[in-house]
Structure 1
Amino acid sequence: MNISLLQENLLKALTRTGRIVSTRPQIPIAGNVLLDAKNGGLSITSTNLETSETVWVGGKAEKEGSVCVPSRLLTELVSSFPAETVHLVVKDEKIHISCSGFSATIPGVPAGEFPPVEPPPKGGEKINKETLVGALSLVLFAAATDEGRPLLTGIKMVSGDGGTTLAATDGYRLSTKTIAFSLKQSTDMVIPARTLSEVLKISLEEKDAKDVVVTAIKDGQLIFSIGDTNIMTRLIAGDYPDYKKIIPKAFNTRALLEKEPLARAVKSAAIFARDNANIVRFTLDKQRVIVSANTPNVGENRIEIDAKIDGEGGEIAFNSRFLLEFLSAFPGDEVLFEMTGALNPGVFRPVKDDSYLHIIMPVRITS
């Protein structure tokens, strides 16, 4: 291998691929990136054995070749270089790196030891990038992070004639978003949330990309292509819980609230809820919502915000962290809140938009 690249482009690619490299890889080779120089540039591939990511960097390759190099070490080294041309030369399984007076040599590992990663086949389907970004932003935060429940660490994706629905739940809350896009074949799969989080990050970074190309390949794998980056992931096997069962079919109270005053009220009440399981109460009464928290030996907080309320009113309590994460992701200026008693799920929706809903399970409280 003998190739020259711009430092900023190489660093961007190494930083991106390094995000999925585990700090404690299951096998030593997974702590490396695979460098593969070909005519026109360099492909950099990383893997955590669940997800693989390949980024293409344009450059001048005088000699093709490939080698594996520790991801973190190479990234830190390149980040210390000036914004000049970086030269990579491999000889006797060692990679020699130089840039404007800087030089280093790193022992490499034969490329054949890196887990195989398939290039995306032709025939993928395009999803508008902005549409996908909006949908992922509304559901990802609701997925579980506890590896003891692997299915809930994924996002359920169902595609049919009526569009594509993304759903995420951790057992305490649920987000669903339907977008006006359908794959050519009906699809029902569970995609790791960590993979889709990376898809979201790259989509936001790739300003010029208009679409995300989705390609299903053999053995339950999926590839997302965004600009010069491909992300391949294994799907999560198993039966995802029937989340539709917890969506209330009716309500006895509905409140229309402005998002910003509600977010400020919850944030203020959360200060007093920290030492009391983050419990924040909503009291709906007479065209207002009272947001409050009370912790013995700490104090109490009460904020009144205007609302348009239809129905019986009542009181319900939620985990303030769940409320704040939802409100932070919610794009609208107004929020519809629906409830049916203190022990039934609370439903949050946009105004005049049935494509999205967020549900939070209430916290049992005593008066």
Structure 2
Amino acid sequence: MKLTIERAALLSTLGHVQSVVERRNTIPILSHVQIEAGSDAVRFRATDLELAIVEENDARVDTPGTATAPAHTLYDIVRKLPDGADVELSLDQERRRLVLQSGRSRFALACLPNEDFPTFEDDELPHSFHMAAEELRTLVERTRFAISTEETRYYLNGVYMHASDDGKKLRAVATDGHRLARFEIDAPAGAEALPGVIVPRKAIAEIHRLLGDTDKDVAISVSETKIRFALGRSVLTSKLIDGSFPDYERVIPSNNERRLEVDAKIFTSAVDRVSTISTEKSRAVKLSMDSERLVLSANSPDAGSASEEIAVSYDAPAMEIGFNSRYLMEIASQIDGESALFELSDAAAPTIIRDPQDASALYVLMPMRV
């Protein structure tokens, strides 16, 4: 194998594929990227057995062939090469080395047998549809912050995607038991009968990274066990979480009659300032509201106390409620409009947070004692 590729193109591709590779691996081949040179292009593959990525790039191929190389080491080398450089990759079969040359720099990286590299079976994925990259990016960004990191409830370790009962909407939902994020768009053609699938947290992170570099449509294919995203010259395939996502509709309140409307940016900044005092463990902030005003406060036995008053729209009976300040700020930061609408019931019941100008997003936040 021998090929020449531009450094910028190689760096971009390696940046995508090496992020799939875990830093610590008990199976040596999983720390490698597979490089397959064809007649006029080169494909790079990486996998952790749950997630796989293939990305193709143009290259001048002198000798077709296949090799493997340590993914993170190769990426770090290319990252440190000068801009505008050409990179030559060749396989020294006798010494089992991948040789990288660029200018006066030369590296020889240990290879592993190509036949050891695992393959992701190209299964039939019966549900297929296309989405604009911007739509998928928004779907991911508005929900991924609420994904649970607790491995005991593994079925919450991803984003739940499904079609609404009438097939008109495609929904993405994430929850960690303390907060819930739901975002929906008009269902693309072919997604009307999409069954509920849970896309793992790592796959969500990788597709979000890939979406940052494209504005093209994304082809999505789904089966009962896998999901595939094809965008540009990249294909990301992931196993789905084998579990049942809880009936999230049951935790969305339907009778929260108190309404509090705040300026989203002013509110977020106030929460951020006041929470400086709250303890690292609880991050608790109390919201005290009465006619047209809201007082945010925090207390800490060690650090002292803080409070801030802001003008709001509120005409219900006075009440106090406590929330985790980080959760509050993360949800408020998702609001694109000028104001955020809180729909409350009492100090012990979950609160709904919406963007009054965008009905596609809905957030639910559980209160905490303060």
Deviation at 1:240, TM superposition (A): 0.8
Whichever residue aligns with residue 105 of structure 1, its letter is A
Alignment partner, residue 153 of structure 1: 157
Aligned-pair Cα RMSD in Å: 1.8
2:142 equivalent to 1:132: no
Note the alpha carbon deviations across 1:279-312, whole angstroms, 9 max, x for none. Answer: 0011111111111111123211111111111322
Q: How far apart in 2 are the matches of 1:89 and 1:271?
A: 55
Equivalent AA in structure 2 for residue 339 of structure 1 = L
Q: Structure 2: which amino acid aligns with 1:310? A: D
Residue-by-residue CA offset, 1:326-350 (whole Å, 9 max, x unaligned): 1223322210001110000111001
**Structure 1 residues 96-143: Cα deviation after superposition (integer angstroms, max 9, x where no partner):** 110111111112112221110356989942111111111211100000
| C-alpha contact 2:169 2:192 (8 A) present in aligned 1 | no
Task: Give the corresponding residue for 1:78.
Answer: 78
Unpaired segments of 5 or more residues in structure 2?
A: none
Partner Cα distance (2:233, 2:227) in 1: 17
**Range moving further from structure 2, 334-343 or 85-94:** 85-94
SS at match of 2:4: strand
In structure 1, the residue matched to 2:176 is 170
Aligned equivalent of 1:89? 90
How big is the shift at 1:213? 1.0
Counterpart position of 2:269: 264
Kept in 1: contact 2:332–2:340 (CA 8 A): no
Alpha carbons 2:89, 2:99 under 8 Å: kept: yes
Contact map agreement 1:258 1:334 (CA 8 A) in 2: yes
- Change in CA separation of 1:88 and 1:276 when aligned onto 2, cut-off 3 Å: closer
- Deviation digits for residues 201-246 of structure 1 (CA, Å, limit 9, x no counterpart): 211122xx321110125x6111101212111000001111111111
Report sequence identity in percent: 26
Q: Distance in 1 between matches of 2:216 and 2:11?
A: 24
TM-score normalised over the length of structure 1: 0.94
User: How far apart are the structure 2 equivalents of 1:94 and 1:171?
Assistant: 49
C-alpha distance in 2, partners of 1:246/1:312?
24
Stretches of 4+ aligned residues off by more than 3 angstroms: 118-124
User: Are 1:46 and 2:31 an aligned pair?
Assistant: no
Counterpart in the other structure of 1:115: 118
Pick the aligned partner of 1:200 from 199, 205, 208: 208
Task: Mark the runs of 5 or more structure 1 residues left unpaired by the alignment.
Answer: none
Please name the residue that 1:6 is paired with: 6
Number of the residue aligned with 1:291: 296
After superposition, the Cα gap between the structure-2 partners of 1:95 and 1:276, relative to the gap in structure 1 and judged at 3 Å, is closer
Match of 2:221 in 1: 215
Contact 1:343 / 1:362 at 8 angstroms: preserved in 2?
A: yes
Give the AA of the match of 1:244.
E
Distance 1:262 1:270, change over 3 A: same
CA distance in 2, matches of 1:75, 1:285: 56
Tell me: CA distance 1:242–1:61, structure 2 relative to 1, closer, same or farther (3 Å): same
Structure 2 CA distance for aligned equivalents of residues 245 and 296 of structure 1: 37
SS of 1:245's partner is helix
| 1:12-35 superposed Cα distances (whole Å, 9 cap, x missing partner) | 111111112111124221111111
Question: Deviation digits for residues 156-188 of structure 1, max 9, x if unmatched?
Answer: 111251211100001110000111124153321
Contact 1:52 1:117 in 2 (8 A): yes
Answer yes or no: is the 8 Å Cα contact 1:4–1:86 preserved in 2.
yes
Contact persistence 2:170–2:192 (CA under 8 A) = no
Separation of aligned partners in 2, 1:121 and 1:230: 15
State the secondary structure of the residue aligned to 2:211: helix
Question: Normalising by the residue count of structure 2, what TM-score does the alignment of the two structures yield?
Answer: 0.93
Residue 321 (str. 1) matches residue 322 (str. 2): no
Shift of 1:86: 0.6
Asked whether the equivalents of residues 120 and 215 of structure 1 are also in contact (C-alpha less than 8 Å), the reply is no
2:231 aligned residue: 226
